[in-house]
Structure 1
Amino acid sequence: MPEPHARSTGPTRRQILLTGAAAAGTALGSELLDAGPAAAADTSSTAASAAVDLTRPTSPFPHVWERVVSGDWAKQALRRDYQDQLFDCHDELGFESLRFHGALNTSMSTYSPTVNGRPRNPAFSNDDYSFFNIDQIYDALVDRGMHPFVELSSMPASLQASAPPFSLMLYDFNQMEPKDYALWGKVVGDFARHMVDRYGLREVRKWPFEVWNEPNLSVFFNGDQQAYFRLYQYAAEAIKNVDASLRVGGPATSAGQLSFGPPRSPGVRYYREFMQWATAKDVPVDFGSAHGYESDTGTGSQGPASFFKQNRADTPSGLPLYISETNVTSDIGNPILDRSDAAASFLRTITETVGVVDALAYWSFTDIYEEMGQADKPFHGGFGLRNIHGVKKPAYRLLQILHTVGEHRVPLTLAGAPDTVGGLAVTGSVRGGVDVLLYNHALATGDGSAPVPARPATLTVTLRGVRAGARARVRRIDEDHTNPYREWVELGSPEYPTRRQLHDIEKASEVEDRPLELKSDRGAGVARFTLTLPPEGVAAVHVG
């Protein structure tokens, strides 16, 4: 069993995609051979203080993480269990839209004039399209009050310029350029027109049309940067030809990652060059989109927020910036994705990107996920907010808490706190009072080395402007609270848990709401509480 908050330094998901399974296996083998004894945990605690002044003006705190969530690929979205989990997330977490790969994949039959190189049976359709599968997904979303966040990918086999040289993913993401860019534009335009015909312009105006996925990685796009610009322009102009009010954008870059094959810029620079090109050529762009994971190479002092702030600086004035993928790590199989690290990391990213991004999509909402094959262990370091059985992980519980807080941020200042500690204070919830959300999270280093682990931090929070008679309650997410992963381990890590075991694991994921001592200065409107934040912990305190 890994140490409670050990960070994996093995090959990341993107390293596997870029270098192949054999190279990744070699790297992992070297890591295991070179591993020394685990360092003893540092249990000493640092002391710090924070101040929240409820008498000062507030600033907006929009729930940008609720605007879109990501979820693997299109065929998965036809599954009942996938949809059941998604709509629970919509109801409990407030997610407004869903993004997934592969709406145009060959296996979706969306554009299929040929099947395995042969003409399709004319009895099947009046044209070269079959929108039935994608309609089933979009119908389900719209019927439940959600919207598609449309990722226009991947290249249908009938449109590819040549056969893909490799595929490291289980599903059929086709990274090739089109053999005919004008035909590619027609396919995209016909897709958009069908959506308007089926759902109405008023609805489809709410859908962002994002052109492709991570074109700066050759595993996702075989062409060079100029090829992507051309791919984008044909798609964007086709969508605008359907109706000028439809929204199109990109380039959905992967932050900080280099690639092999044709030369291309790394993520942040690629994004900047795309915006410069689109502006110079007057190509339609209604939003910018980008991805960033904390484990990505080259993260700055604020982790993925460092990428997103640069993306914002490079986004033309007035355009929204949508982060359509983010998480604590892109290293699938890393246990921190199943534990409180993911919650603490996401709260830190939210805190540091207030006013920077207009959407912040967690990748992904579920471990029903087949990019590298479908896992069957309940906890396997999957990207999901929920595991394959629907058990709600710590990051899910964080978003449940955040869904209940208001949209007015109150200044929170720290003194003497380590750089792993931070948080925010928010008012405006239906419960009244103030919510103080705190994290203790050690950022990834950005160079692949293990970060210095966070230490326990004792924090005294003073609140000014509190009503007389206010009380405090606390909800915790850490090693000892809201930890279904540990319950699973203590049950013997069963690959196929019994129903009773699943009940116990789900129960261990619940958040406890407990009283917290609040000391008040009578008549002064000042109150304070003290708590200790464990490493990779989150504490949500409501005072009201």
Structure 2
Amino acid sequence: MTINEQDSATEPAADNDARTDWEQRIYRRTTDTAGVDPALELPAVTGVTAQGFVGHIKLAWSPVDGAAGYIIERTDRNGTAVILDHGGSDVPAVPGAEYADAGMPVGESFGYRIGAVAGNEFPVWHWSERVEAAVRQGPAEPVHVSVDAASDSGTLQRVWHLVGSERLSQLREKTDDFGNDIGAEFYDSLRIAHDELGVDRVRAHAVLDDTNAVVVRDDAGQITYDFTKVDAIYDDILRLGITPVVELGFMPAAIASDPEATVFTYRGIISPPTDWAEWRSLIKAFASHLVERYGLDEVAAWGFEVWNEPNLEVFWTGGPQDYLRLYDEAAAAIKEVSPRLLVGGPSTAASEWVHLLTEHVAHTGAPLDFISSHTYGNAPLDVQPAARRNGLADLPIWWTEWGVGHTHFGPLNDGVYGAPFVLTGLKSVQGRMDALAYWVVSDHFEELGRPTRLFHNGFGLLTVGNLRKPRFWATYLAEQMGDQLIRATVTGDGADVVVQTWASRHDDDTVDVLLWNSVPNALVAQGDPSLDRTISLDVAGLAAADYSAEVARVDQHHSNIVPVCPTDVDWPDTDLWQKLRAADVLDTEIVAVEATATGIHLDLALPMPGVARIRLQPKAAGAPRKEAS
């Protein structure tokens, strides 16, 4: 993974050792792609088009039945072909049937082919016909957005209510080397996420790690369990109104086949157990204890996820079949406690092994109550076809890790680019996933060493000290939407692939229109003026005669806390903390709108990357509705 040289130079040696080990092993997957089942062969993609617009080329194609996603190959004028990876995503395939390719020179023609894949670990069997286009010279015409406030377009799924977290045992940590109160600030980050983002579930690593002293083997070889520390942690988060998704890992040293095989600075053990019966006994005892302590009705709503990213060498020393055994033993143990308890997996990196696990449980009858996997730098692939192929079409899908950047201390985590990225992902999974957990809630994060400065491009939605990053504000704006979605369409240069929209209506007839400007290419994350757009917004079908309008913005100059802290400051002093907290607000302004025959009209600028939320609130209740034309 990419290392930020400034951060690397200031980290303790032990943390550097863990980080170097991580860098060397993170991309080593244990997935065997040889001998792929021909039954998973997909036909060539048809209906491919390429259109040149200002700042980007828009690609579109006809969906292929059974596809999880689509690989895009681009060829330059010299004949050099590359697979687009969107600036570094761990999954190059994209789930939809449209794409904006950006960052190319104006006027140069590029060729494209599209290939459907059954999953990230599966090949393209047949490529589409080749199409060509070139980026056009600007300026771009305004993009028109039309909203029908009287329409009904389904119900908003608040998939972000599950969030990822560093191991929960850090609730018991004291101050770090820089005086930051880890436990108190981490607890407060969960409270903020609950109160402001609606978070009611959290998924974290290492509940079985030896930090929690769950398993002890005495000199006679007898095993005892102690869940006291886990109880204290779960009691804390339950008091906040947050329940755990219980990730079963890492392996306790007392039952591990190789206690020296570890990951992270806290040395989570990644080997299979020495004795499968001891693993099964542990999981049964753990689930039974939780039910006894918290009640079956409570724990039945949680979910047990078996392990973390077993398809990566850095997290699992076994192979795929070893993972299936780990899963089977855990699932059987959980169901012995109660059939009502939920168990799922494969909890893999990069959307892999969903077919492997669903095929396995279809053949063996092992229980599977939800499917889980992870993706970074891209919207999650569509794993529903894999579930359907194996007779499991109705299973819930929980994406238990997802984020704009897959690198610790990477270049994207603190910046504005993450804000529209979040909204693209949340909208993308509507109707096909039940949870999309952003990884993670807080920059109090120790996997590769504690942060050495405030803005270090940490994974968190919140900084150390709980300042809100642009990604936080994007999620907040999604949470502020009404439950009733309404019809919104985009036309013009960049429609649906650069500029996107999401609109809703509240019970009091308040209308929210979310707009964002982004492309799936992290290489232009700092912005590209050719992709900035002017939006022409028309809202019809409003229930009242008169509305007030407020615009909230997230971009380089709005709701962006990072520039408030000078770049040469590692940790703020008291005065700077006061200034940062005063600036830690969502930027909003009341704007004038133009009344039209059918509703209202508003023009506004939308930079790339950028987000705007237009909120229309009725000034008087009961006024007659203006019908949409």
TM-score (norm 2): 0.72
* C-alpha distance in structure 2 between counterparts of 1:168 and 1:373, whole Å: 12
Q: Is 2:506 aligned against 1:428?
A: yes
The alignment partner of 1:112 has SS state of strand
Match of 1:264 in 2: none
Query: After superposition, what is the alpha-carbon deviation per residue over 1:139-178, rounded to whole angstroms, capped at 9, x for unaligned?
Result: 112222221110000111111112444x451122211011
Shift of 1:313: 5.9
Query: After superposition, what is the alpha-carbon deviation per residue over 1:331-357, rounded to whole angstroms, capped at 9, x for unaligned?
Result: 221242112211110011111111111
CA contact (8 A) 2:417 2:525 kept: no
Shift of 1:486: 0.8
CA contact (8 A) 2:417 2:526 kept: no
Superposition pairs of residues 485-496 of structure 1, within 5 angstroms:
485-488=562-565, 491-496=566-571
Q: 1:509 to 1:334 in 2, by over 3 A?
A: farther
Q: Is 2:166 aligned against 1:69?
A: no
Query: After superposition, what is the alpha-carbon deviation per residue over 1:286-331, rounded to whole angstroms, capped at 9, x for unaligned?
Result: 111111111xxxxxxxx32335666676682221000111111112
Superposition pairs of residues 233-244 of structure 1, within 5 angstroms:
233-244=328-339
Query: After superposition, what is the alpha-carbon deviation per residue over 1:154-203, rounded to whole angstroms, capped at 9, x for unaligned?
Result: 111111112444x4511222110111111101100100000011111111
* C-alpha distance in structure 1 between counterparts of 2:532 and 2:308, whole Å: 39
Q: Is 2:253 aligned against 1:157?
A: yes
Match of 2:187 in 1: 83
Match of 2:622 in 1: none
The alignment partner of 2:608 has SS state of coil
CA contact (8 A) 1:328 1:345 kept: yes
CA contact (8 A) 1:474 1:513 kept: yes
Match of 1:259 in 2: none
Q: Which of residues 359, 362, 365 is equivalent to 1:276?
A: 359
CA contact (8 A) 1:51 1:461 kept: yes
Q: Is 2:512 aligned against 1:416?
A: no
Match of 1:304 in 2: 379
Please tell me the root mean square deviation across aligned C-alpha atoms, in Å: 2.7
* C-alpha distance in structure 1 between counterparts of 2:281 and 2:505, whole Å: 49
TM-score (norm 1): 0.83
Match of 1:342 in 2: 418
* C-alpha distance in structure 2 between counterparts of 1:92 and 1:450, whole Å: 30
Between the aligned residues of both structures, percent identity stands at: 29
Query: After superposition, what is the alpha-carbon deviation per residue over 1:38-82, rounded to whole angstroms, capped at 9, x for unaligned?
Result: 999x9965521111112333311121111x111111322332321
The alignment partner of 2:586 has SS state of coil
Instruction: Report the more deviating stretch, 44-53 or 221-230.
Output: 44-53
* C-alpha distance in structure 1 between counterparts of 2:484 and 2:19, whole Å: 37
CA contact (8 A) 1:17 1:219 kept: yes
Q: Which of residues 193, 199, 206 is equivalent to 2:294?
A: 199
* C-alpha distance in structure 2 between counterparts of 1:16 and 1:534, whole Å: 39
Q: Is 2:170 aligned against 1:95?
A: no
Superposition pairs of residues 120-519 of structure 1, within 5 angstroms:
128-165=224-261, 167-255=262-350, 267-268=351-352, 270-294=353-377, 303-306=378-381, 316-418=392-494, 419-428=497-506, 432-444=509-521, 454=528, 455-466=531-542, 467-488=544-565, 491-519=566-594
* C-alpha distance in structure 2 between counterparts of 1:310 and 1:387, whole Å: 38
CA contact (8 A) 2:19 2:448 kept: no
Q: Gaps (5+ residues) in structure 2?
A: 1-17, 29-102, 106-136, 173-182, 618-629
* C-alpha distance in structure 2 between counterparts of 1:341 and 1:129, whole Å: 46
* C-alpha distance in structure 2 between counterparts of 1:496 and 1:310, whole Å: 48
* C-alpha distance in structure 2 between counterparts of 1:309 and 1:528, whole Å: 40
CA contact (8 A) 1:46 1:456 kept: no
Q: Is 2:598 aligned against 1:525?
A: yes
CA contact (8 A) 2:469 2:560 kept: yes
Query: After superposition, what is the alpha-carbon deviation per residue over 1:249-305, rounded to whole angstroms, capped at 9, x for unaligned?
Result: 1111111xxxxxxxxxxx43x1111111111111000111111111xxxxxxxx323
Higher Rg: 2
Q: 1:527 to 1:310 in 2, by over 3 A?
A: farther
Query: After superposition, what is the alpha-carbon deviation per residue over 1:399-432, rounded to whole angstroms, capped at 9, x for unaligned?
Result: 2222222111112111114122112101125x53
The alignment partner of 1:59 has SS state of coil
Q: Which of the pair is proportionally richer in helix?
A: 1
Alignment-mate amino acid for residue 87 of structure 1? R
Alignment-mate amino acid for residue 484 of structure 2? H
The alignment partner of 2:354 has SS state of helix
* C-alpha distance in structure 1 between counterparts of 2:591 and 2:484, whole Å: 23
* C-alpha distance in structure 1 between counterparts of 2:19 and 2:145, whole Å: 38
CA contact (8 A) 2:551 2:615 kept: yes
The alignment partner of 1:220 has SS state of coil
* C-alpha distance in structure 2 between counterparts of 1:222 and 1:213, whole Å: 12
* C-alpha distance in structure 2 between counterparts of 1:112 and 1:304, whole Å: 42
Alignment-mate amino acid for residue 434 of structure 1? V
